[in-house]
Structure 1
Amino acid sequence: MTTHPDADRSALGARLRELRTDAGLTGKDVAARLRWQRSRVSRLETGKQTPTPTDLDQWAAAAGEPDTAAGLKSRLRGIRSQQRAWRRQLASGHRGVQERYVAEYRRTSALRGYEATVVPGLFQTPDYAHHLLLANADLMGTPRDTEAAVRARVKRQEVLYEPDKTFRVLLWEGALHALVCPREVMAGQLDRLINLIGMPSVSFGVVPLGAPMRITPRHGFWIFDEERVVVETINTELRLESADDLALYGRVWDRLSESALHGAAARRLLGRTRAALG
């Protein structure tokens, strides 16, 4: 998983420099062959500038190694995975981020997700969402536009009722016991999850405590249309688009799904948890 674009860009630059020197070329030679400024060659080799796919095709050809272009562009796709700091995104409050997700979910036909610590936003009740968003605003020191953000988050759930969409979601059982809100709010949230089971567009599974597992849960992630993965950390949102990352997270989801309870078994687990709240 690419989490340090600067380091990856520097590594790609080093590879470009290696191709140049192996071909017996100076930076000035490459600049002349490609009709570039010499400073451009330097910025690419030092990782101060991100090349375009065309740049890489031209560089490989200039070095007499056109077959290396595919590998160079694979590295570039990894660099282009986006890393967005939450503090910057939330500078004006949570509402804008939630509205962006509304649009993104509307564009998505198939979604696979896993959450380890909280009920996914796609399934949250307004009261549960309110407590989470308020706590996050306090943690990040960002504006409290909680009510507007809750409305936007709940609006995202309209996609659950749209035809030709599928949502396959897994949840670690520990999230059902985390009282991030008053007990009566959590009870309502569990009722909501119970009612989701059986919806035509939703496949909801719970990975129970004590289940045999081929892989241990680490963090939540979402796979949109098998094209990109979104990972949320405490301070950063990562968007990964390389084929390797997609394949890796797909395998993780599949292995977690093998350990999950679905259908009636998941409903019974949720019911027991709900009853324990009183």
Structure 2
Amino acid sequence: MPVSPSSSARAARAAVAARLRELMLDARIDGKELSARCRWHPSKTSRILSGKSTPSESDIRQWCGACDSDDQAEDLIAASRAVELMYVEWRKQHRHGMRRVQEDSLAQHTGTAVCRAYVSNVVPGFLQTEAYATALMRGITDFQGTPDDVADAVAARLKRGRLLYEGNHRFVVLAEEAVLRYRIGDARTMAEQLRHLLSVMPLPSVALGIIPFSAPRRMWPLEAFYLFDDGEASIETLTAEISVVQPRELADYHRAFAELTRTAVYGTHARSLITTAIDALG
């Protein structure tokens, strides 16, 4: 059973807090004395030590100064920044619009030889059509209340689709049958998207499996996740994107992907499910 996708971030945050505690103990002061030296309330020290609050860069510098360990500040700041990159809220990522995030995603996919994607709600970005991506990203922008740069963001997202034909990339996709049935945009948009899936299935760079509604399951439906080679997993929740790099968690996600692979159907059977979904649109 995969652990919570946010546990890597919690563990990393706890590691930073543990290092701050060690500095305090090495200085032979307690939380009350450190708070006095930093000129903030003791409850702030408690929240940082418990991992409930993330210290700012200024907080870390004050903490190190109070412990006569100024030489440790930059290293701790770097570690804290890494924690913040593990769990990033979509609203924060999209605060200036969605285009920048799409460009960053293109760079990540470009540097990946094998991308394994499991999707339970929408078609993965690198397989989306323009109309489907527009409808989806319009809904996301409206829900989040972030700046509207949908046209530019869609153009940036579609560039990922070129990787199906360029370079030595491979995309292994597992999609729940529900992805074929959830109507993003109007019927015409959805039918076009499903026909696009049929058109890319023969590509040597693409392996597409569909997990039927009726399939006996050992692995239950999960949140969408992407595995970039063997070094990172990205999990998408409603509110945040979570990066997993901890080996134990990565192993869990690779194991889950393998279990889901055994549940999926491929080739003619998968094409039949897609065609049936198109016919159901009327």
Query: Which TM-score tier does this pair reach, normalised by the shorter chain?
Result: 0.7 to 0.9
Which residue of 112, 119, 133 maps to 1:108?
112
* 1:126-152 C-alpha deviation (Å, 9 max, x unpaired): 000000011111000011111111111
Equivalent in the alignment of 2:32: none
Name the residue aligned to 1:272. Answer: 276
Is 1:148 aligned to 2:152, yes or no?
yes
Tell me the distance in 2 between the aligned counterparts of 1:15 and 1:216. 36
Q: Is the 8 A contact 1:81 1:240 kept in 2?
A: no
CA distance in 2, matches of 1:189, 1:27: 60
Q: Structure 1, residues 102-145: CA drift from partner, whole Å, max 9, x if none?
A: 11111111111101001111111000000001111100001111
Unaligned runs of 5+ in 2: 30-36, 39-44, 61-79
Q: In the alignment, which residue of structure 2 is the partner of 1:132?
A: 136
How far did residue 19 of structure 1 move? Answer: 9.2
Equivalent residue number for residue 27 of structure 2: 28
Match of 1:233 in 2: 237
State whether residues 117 and 178 of structure 1, in contact with CA within 8 Å, keep that contact through their aligned partners in structure 2. yes
- Equivalent residue for 1:252? 256
Work out whether 1:3 is the aligned partner of 2:42.
Answer: no
State the distance in 1 between where 2:142 and 2:17 align: 43
Residues 6, 156 of structure 1: alpha-carbon distance in 2 compared, 3 angstrom cutoff: closer
- Quick one: percent identity of the two aligned structures? 32
Structure 2 contact 9–87 (Cα < 8 Å) conserved: no
Q: Tell me the residue number matched to 1:188.
A: 192
AA paired with 2:97?
G
Asked if structure 1 preserves the Cα contact closer than 8 Å seen for 2:115 and 2:226, the reply is yes
Q: For residue 17 of structure 1, report the CA deviation from its aligned partner.
A: 9.7
Cα separation, partners in 2 of 1:116 and 1:16, compared to 1, 3 Å: same
Q: Which residue of 1 aligns with 2:228?
A: 224
Alignment CA distance shift 1:267-1:2 (3 Å):
closer
Amino acid at match of 1:28: A
194-203 vs 157-166, greater mean Cα deviation: 157-166
Name the CA distance, whole Å, in 2 between partners of 1:250 and 1:241: 12
Q: CA RMSD in A?
A: 3.0
Q: Decide whether the 8 Å contact of 1:114 with 1:222 is kept in 2.
A: yes
Question: Does the 8 Å CA contact 2:201/2:208 hold for their aligned counterparts?
Answer: yes
Q: Are residues 13 and 161 of structure 1, via their aligned partners in 2, closer, same or farther at CA, if it must alter by over 3 Å?
A: closer
Q: Is the 8 A contact 2:9 2:86 kept in 1?
A: no
TM-superposed deviation, 1:27: 2.8
> C-alpha separation between the residues in 2 aligned to 1:5 and 1:247?
13
Equivalent residue runs for 1:155-166 within 5 Å: 155-166=159-170
Q: Secondary structure at the match of 1:159?
A: helix
Query: 1:28 deviation in Å?
Result: 3.3
Counterparts of 1:177 and 1:169, CA distance in 2: 17
Q: Following TM superposition, by how much is the alpha carbon of 1:163 offset from its aligned partner in structure 2, in angstroms?
A: 3.5
> Partners of 1:133 and 1:184 in 2: how far apart?
17
Equivalent residue number for residue 204 of structure 1: 208
TM-score normalised to the size of structure 1? 0.76
CA deviation profile, 1:230-277 (whole Å, cap 9, x unmatched)? 011111110010101110000111111101011111111111111121
Contact 1:2 1:79 in 2 (8 A): no
